[in-house]
Structure 1
């Protein structure tokens, strides 16, 4: 049977894959929540949910660097990638080893599409549909919660040295908008570098826990240049992980808004 991924690559599967390598942390968690944990044979060093997954599988590298020989030795039936998380070179290498699915996610609808695609690929349609229904219900509830909350001007930091923020055409920017947060750097694409001394005016500055692990000391450092903004640390997984992590994200967003 032929399948098409989110960047329109078509690949063939003669049977339901039983040996899966996931090179995307959030998609590893999704596989587990679809009941596929026993089929996962390889993950990245950043696949931290569930906590035991790196002990029960083989770590084949990171999201930007992989051990090709380890991947080949695992004889995967399928390899799961993401356009942003993995490089084009990694995808091309994986395609020579096994059928390779590449996700490309900017919105909730993109996330839902991946859940459904995994349901079809791994014969987990019922489980996928249950996740989608739960996500729709949670999102509807959150939309009611957030609709009358004031819009806040926000900066979302993802890195230090150089200072980098989330701009437009990112999943983070999409989730900020759902939270009634106006990204003051949404005129810039992707993850631009900025000059900390010339920060735009904002109501709120969010310092993510990943990929750079911001700490309290960074609040003090940034406060010198943003005296009028409230600066808080946030769990980056809830702002950047798609898939089943979204089922927990909106309760987190509610608590975050209450802290305002």
Structure 2
């Protein structure tokens, strides 16, 4: 019989986790990838509709729906002893309902330090703390050698079209912009993902406009419209996973950011 450990998640709730958990549900695509990278693939009992990695291994798992529309009947059938969720990626009401029936650990990630802490804490509650800490050391080492200019480039990071939406400073993506040596043009306001107009973008006058591949799939054809708004800006398509996935995907991010910065400069 498993022992149990008491932990506090990022929402401040005290939960009792069977240790080590044997039937884990991840309600977030990046977390699913992370669990496999920790070597816990045999304990992951489901995938979400948007889980992508590891491609060959997740196909065998039952689909429990999207992160914001989880299938609670399937979850009940799977009998998880731990559900890993995120306060931004998942629907609050649904997660609160699941908390009444299951052990649910909720993360809250706003910056790179939060991400490091989350990697270690998740590793700890799943019995893989040493491997998780090694991941963090590797990511930190990769980030430490990313080339940066002395003068930061003013950047605008777009995530949606019709209407245009971008990221503010209270986001994990903003933290990744800082890792790259960029300065977010969006400096104030309560909205974490504010809607902006073409006139607003023109007024911000960014030196660099980054068009993310997710959640809206910006493509080469979209670059022209932004070039017309800010003729002097550099426009780049970027891999949204590298900027927004906050767990083991960061192992790939250092090399990606280095190549992106060299291309821009």
Q: TM-score range by the shorter chain?
A: over 0.9
How many residues are paired up?
257
Task: Indicate if the aligned counterparts of 1:198 and 1:225 stay in contact, CA closer than 8 A.
Answer: no
For residues 17 and 27 of structure 2, the distance between their equivalents in structure 1, rounded to whole angstroms, comes to: 19
- In structure 1, what is the equivalent of residue 197 of structure 2? 195
Report the CA distance between 1:97 and its aligned residue.
Answer: 2.9
Task: Indicate if the aligned counterparts of 1:3 and 1:10 stay in contact, CA closer than 8 A.
Answer: yes
Report the CA distance between 1:52 and its aligned residue.
Answer: 2.5
Task: Indicate if the aligned counterparts of 1:155 and 1:206 stay in contact, CA closer than 8 A.
Answer: yes
1:75 to 72, 79, 83: 79
Give SS of 1:259's match.
helix
Give SS of 2:85's match.
strand
For residues 161 and 53 of structure 1, the distance between their equivalents in structure 2, rounded to whole angstroms, comes to: 36
Assess, with a 3 A threshold, how the Cα gap between structure 1 residues 149 and 234 changes in structure 2: closer, same or farther.
farther
1:226-241 pair list within 5 angstroms: 226-241=230-245
1:214 to 213, 218, 221: 218
- In structure 2, what is the equivalent of residue 176 of structure 1? 177
- In structure 2, what is the equivalent of residue 258 of structure 1? 262
2:13 pairs with 1:12: no
Report the CA distance between 1:216 and its aligned residue.
Answer: 1.1
TM-score (norm 1): 0.94
Structure 1, unaligned stretches of length 5 or more?
A: none
Task: Indicate if the aligned counterparts of 1:139 and 1:250 stay in contact, CA closer than 8 A.
Answer: yes
Bigger drift between 69-78 and 45-54 goes to 45-54
- In structure 1, what is the equivalent of residue 131 of structure 2? 127
Per-residue CA deviation, residues 134-160 of structure 1 (Å, 9 max, x unaligned), is: 122222223xx32x4531111100001
Per-residue CA deviation, residues 29-64 of structure 1 (Å, 9 max, x unaligned), is: 111111011111112111111112441211111111
Structure 2, unaligned stretches of length 5 or more?
A: none
2:250 pairs with 1:246: yes
Give SS of 1:21's match.
strand
2:30 pairs with 1:29: no
Task: Indicate if the aligned counterparts of 1:23 and 1:86 stay in contact, CA closer than 8 A.
Answer: yes
Per-residue CA deviation, residues 196-245 of structure 1 (Å, 9 max, x unaligned), is: 23312011100000010001111112222111111110000011111111
TM-score (norm 2): 0.93
1:17-166 pair list within 5 angstroms: 17-142=21-146, 145-146=147-148, 148-166=149-167
Aligned residues: CA RMSD: 1.4
Assess, with a 3 A threshold, how the Cα gap between structure 1 residues 52 and 97 changes in structure 2: closer, same or farther.
farther
Give SS of 1:111's match.
helix
Report the CA distance between 1:171 and its aligned residue.
Answer: 0.3
| Displaced runs of 4 or more, over 6 A | none
Task: Indicate if the aligned counterparts of 1:164 and 1:192 stay in contact, CA closer than 8 A.
Answer: yes
